């Protein structure tokens, strides 16, 4: 992980400024909006810190090294990123993360009365557009949407493009268009199923486990029973979890939302579930004898992944 850790999430990207204590770390959305319509944040501080370039580098390197892709980016932003023309940009109102502006665009697009609407007039003046009238209202709604989604994010998209170019991935994107949906898939294409996660797990061996002080010791009969029981609890949890909950578990486990090719489970002496994200290991205490207790503790621990980067 680089000094500036930028990781793809369902609703954008998060930024941890340094390697200081994980809990309480600053969390800033680099991309914002709803799934499949994410656009760059317009915060000037993100541009000043070069975070969009960093995001581009990390997404590019992740792709080149068979890591997670970045789902949910707006088709309009992808179109602009790759040099598409304004005239053919596939913008929809869902691409606008500001709900107030969405309402204005919807009002202008419809047939509702717009006389004396100060908010629309203020926006029009601010963005050098004419004030609304019955003759120009639909045209104005399109221009407002274009300004919000594309014109206000031009510098961010340019910096993001530079980050991708730094990785050497850019020529592939330009000449092999079929790569684009793989790098920027739709959110629905990245849903995690229980079987998808179970297929990636390396369970404790039948003859050894990690227990006291995380040292490998030979199983005795009780050790084998503990490992089998707690591993079974995890399997039950995964089989009954939603896709969103599975993503949270994976984030806690490995630091990404997308399963790794091999994710290890270790049964240990401990109090609560912990994770070693760099080595893609989930460590589960052996003391659990009831599934409900295990479930409550695991849910509480994986909830810390959003602030603790997966380390309980």
Q: How confident is the model at residue 59 (pLDDT cuts 50, 70, 90)?
A: very high
Q: What is the pLDDT of residue 298?
A: 95
Q: What is the pLDDT of residue 122?
A: 81
* Tokens at 248, concatenated: 């949270």
Count of beta carbons in the 10 Å neighbourhood of residue 96: 25
- 271 and 251 in a common domain: yes
Question: In which domain, by residue range, is 49 found?
Answer: 5-84+152-190
- 203 and 179 in a common domain: no
Find how far residue 195's CA is from the centre of its chain.
21
Residue 168 CB contacts under 8 Å (≥ 6 apart), including other chains: 60, 64
Q: What is the pLDDT of residue 309?
A: 41
For the ranges 132-141, 176-185, 205-214, which has the lowest average pLDDT?
205-214
With a cut of 60, say whether residue 6 has pLDDT above it.
no
- 125 and 36 in a common domain: no
Looking up tokens 């221009």 gives 143
Instruction: Give the separation between CA 148 and CA 42, rounded to whole angstroms.
Output: 10
- CA 168 → CA 121, 171, 260, distances in Å? 45, 7, 24
User: Over the stretch 230-249, which tens digit does the pLDDT of each residue have?
Assistant: 999 999 999 999 888 998 99
Count of beta carbons in the 10 Å neighbourhood of residue 283: 20
- 105 and 35 in a common domain: no
Instruction: Give the separation between CA 302 and CA 312, rounded to whole angstroms.
Output: 8
- 71 and 183 in a common domain: yes
- 41 and 26 in a common domain: yes
Higher pLDDT, 93 or 218: 93
User: Over the stretch 72-126, which tens digit does the pLDDT of each residue have?
Assistant: 899 999 999 999 988 899 999 999 998 888 888 888 887 777 665 677 878 888 8
* Tokens at 219, concatenated: 């199983």
- Identify the domain boundary among 164, 190, 216: 190
User: Over the stretch 247-257, which tens digit does the pLDDT of each residue have?
Assistant: 899 989 988 77
**Per-chain mean pLDDT for the chain:** 82
- 113 and 17 in a common domain: no
- CA 139 → CA 78, 92, 101, 182, 238, distances in Å? 23, 14, 15, 34, 50
How would DSSP label each residue in 256-309? SSS--S-EEEEEES-SS-EEEGGGTEEEEETT---HHHHHHHHHHHHTTHHHHT
Bridge partners, residue 283, by sequence: 266, 274
pTM of the model: 0.65
- 114 and 22 in a common domain: no
Instruction: Give the separation between CA 138 and CA 109, rounded to whole angstroms.
Output: 5
Count: domains in the chain: 3
With a cut of 60, say whether residue 208 has pLDDT above it.
no
Q: What is the pLDDT of residue 212?
A: 55
- 97 and 80 in a common domain: no
- DSSP label of 212: G
Q: What is the pLDDT of residue 126?
A: 83
- 120 and 74 in a common domain: no
- 182 and 59 in a common domain: yes
- 162 and 127 in a common domain: no
Supply the Cα-derived Rg of the chain in whole angstroms: 24
For the ranges 18-27, 71-80, 137-146, 177-186, which has the lowest average pLDDT?
18-27
Q: What is the pLDDT of residue 191?
A: 75
């Amino acid at each position: 992980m680089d000094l500036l850790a930028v990781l793809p999430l369902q609703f954008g990207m998060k930024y941890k400024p340094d390697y200081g204590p994980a809990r309480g770390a600053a969390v800033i959305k680099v991309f914002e909006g709803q799934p499949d319509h994410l656009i760059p944040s317009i915060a000037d501080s993100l541009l000043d810190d070069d975070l969009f370039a960093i995001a581009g580098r990390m997404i590019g390197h992740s792709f080149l090294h068979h890591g997670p892709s970045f789902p949910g980016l707006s088709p309009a932003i992808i179109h602009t990123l790759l040099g598409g023309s304004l005239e053919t940009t596939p913008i929809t109102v869902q691409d606008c993360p500001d709900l107030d502006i969405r309402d204005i665009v919807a009002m202008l697009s419809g047939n509702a009365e717009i006389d004396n609407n100060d908010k629309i007039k203020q926006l029009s003046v601010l963005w050098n557009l004419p004030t609304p009238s019955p003759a120009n209202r639909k045209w104005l709604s399109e221009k407002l949407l274009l300004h919000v989604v594309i014109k206000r994010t031009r510098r961010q998209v340019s910096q993001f493009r530079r980050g991708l170019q730094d990785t050497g991935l850019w020529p592939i994107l330009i000449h092999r268009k079929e790569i684009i949906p793989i790098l920027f898939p739709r959110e629905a294409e990245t849903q995690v199923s229980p079987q998808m996660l179970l297929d990636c797990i390396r369970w404790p061996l039948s003859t050894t486990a990690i227990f006291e002080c995380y040292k490998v010791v030979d199983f005795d009969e009780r050790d084998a029973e503990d490992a089998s029981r707690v591993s079974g609890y995890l399997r039950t949890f995964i089989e009954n979890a939603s896709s969103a909950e599975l993503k949270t578990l994976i984030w806690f486990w490995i630091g990404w939302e997308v399963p790794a090719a091999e994710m290890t489970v270790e049964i240990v002496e401990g109090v609560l579930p912990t994770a070693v994200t760099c080595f893609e290991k989930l460590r589960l205490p052996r003391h659990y004898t009831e599934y409900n207790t295990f479930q409550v503790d695991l849910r509480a621990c994986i909830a810390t992944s959003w602030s603790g980067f997966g380390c309980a």
